[in-house]
Amino acid sequence: MSLARRERHELALLYLDLDRFKAVNDTWGHNAGDELLKAAADRIRRLVRESDTVARIGGDEFTVIFPKIASREDIAKAAQKINGALSAGFQLHLTGQGTQQEVGIGCSIGIAVYPGDAQDIDGLIKAADTAMYEAKQTHNAFRFYQP
């Protein structure tokens, strides 16, 4: 944020929540859930630039930080790509059973943009989280924060 402030450009924070993740954990166990989290992180990482940051912040939630964005349209396109990649089926290897299981999850994404949506990191996270909950209402969608 300091760099964005100094160079007078926007940055975007995406807050992702995996849909139907709990069902994977409950049905096929925590090893399958862990495998799914790793595969989801890998898919997200392959879709963003080297200068962007992907982080799992807990449970089935991730953030993606785009430190310099040209437009909201670019971020919308990135969110659509991430959503599409996470909506495609995942092949999980079920430990102890020697079998594979295809699962579908999807995600809900909330987007907040600095400096328009918040002036500090806590406010930006809160804005992105609020937008994510709005996106979750429509399933497999993304939403920009709207005050």
> Is 60 one of the annotated active-site residues of the chain?
yes
Long-range pairs, 95-100, Cβ under 8 A, ≥24: 95/29, 95/31, 95/32
Closest Cα to residue 69, out of 106, 111, 40? 111
Query: Which residues does 97 contact at the CB level (< 8 Å), separation at least 6?
Result: none
Catalytic one of 17, 60, 120, 129? 60
What totals of helices (H) and strands (E) does the chain contain, helices first? 5, 7
Give the distance from CA 32 to its chain's centroid: 19
Which are the catalytic amino acids? 60
